[in-house]
Amino acid sequence: MTKLSVNINKIATLRNSRGGDVPNVVQFAKDVQRFGAEGVTIHPRPDERHIRYQDARDLKPEVYTEYNIEGNPVESFMKLVLEVKPTQVTLVPDAENAITSNAGWDTIKHKGFLIDVIKEFQQNGIRTSIFVDPVLKQVEGAKATGTDRIELYTEGFAHQYDLGYKDAIKPYTESAILANELGLGINAGHDLSLDNIKFFNDNIPNLLEVSIGHALIAESLYLGVENVIQMYLHKLK
């Protein structure tokens, strides 16, 4: 079964909006695991506008499932990950002023840089994944970097699926087939939701993990966190 990792950035955003510690990020991470989530994802940015670097440290002893830290491997991010040593680091080429991630790596152009970064993380026992668009040459380029996994950037699929274009899954399926042939593990994330997750999962062979944050938190406002997590787990079976 595909693992569900819950991205808790939005909980930090809500906390930060009042300047206190409600809701508590660490407690929320403990709760989603208790409710059945098989991983916790955070994406700290240099301006710490949602998840703070200290949150990453505080979460370490409390995340007993998969602990995934996403981000652009700038110097401060690399130091944090090497200190915390999560289960997995997902490298994302987001600009500092980006509202959210909006593109995968050009794995060919940045091959040398990615090789060096990935090697350092792997030497410290951290599994690596890199954010990629569903483009075959970029999947091939990812293999050349030495990464353990790729994370398929799924915003394009989610948008087209909402419009009724189910053929939008085709480049993702093709990319997954190639990744399997190359021996790369496959993760996915961005704008996946209760509406599209089953269709996506059914069409991606050997999908190992999905990271879902914004939609899951929004859905939980109406349906409750525990209930929503169980709904995702059911759709991922």
Instruction: Identify the active-site residue in 38, 190, 209, 219.
Output: 190
Instruction: Identify the active-site residue in 38, 50, 66, 70.
Output: 70
Q: Which amino acid is at 171?
A: P
Distant-in-sequence, close-in-space partners of 212: CB < 8 Å, separation ≥ 6:
4, 5, 6, 7, 189, 192, 193, 197, 232
Three-state SS across the chain? CCEEEEECHHHHHHHHCCCCCCCCHHHHHHHHHHCCCCEEEECCCCCCCCCCHHHHHHHCCCCCCEEEEEECCCHHHHHHHHHHCCCEEEECCCCCCCCCCCCCCCCCCCHHHHHHHHHHHHHCCCEEEEEECCCHHHHHHHHHHCCCEEEEECHHHHHHHHCCCHHHHHHHHHHHHHHHHHCCEEEEECCCCCCCHHHHHHCCCCEEEEEECHHHHHHHHHHCHHHHHHHHHHHHC
Whether 43 sits among the annotated catalytic residues: the reply is: yes
Q: Taking the CA of residue 3 as centre, how many other CA atoms within 13 Å lie in the half-sphere pointing to its CB? A: 17
For residue 111, give both structure tokens: 């091959």
Whether 70 sits among the annotated catalytic residues: the reply is: yes
Active site residues: 43, 70, 190
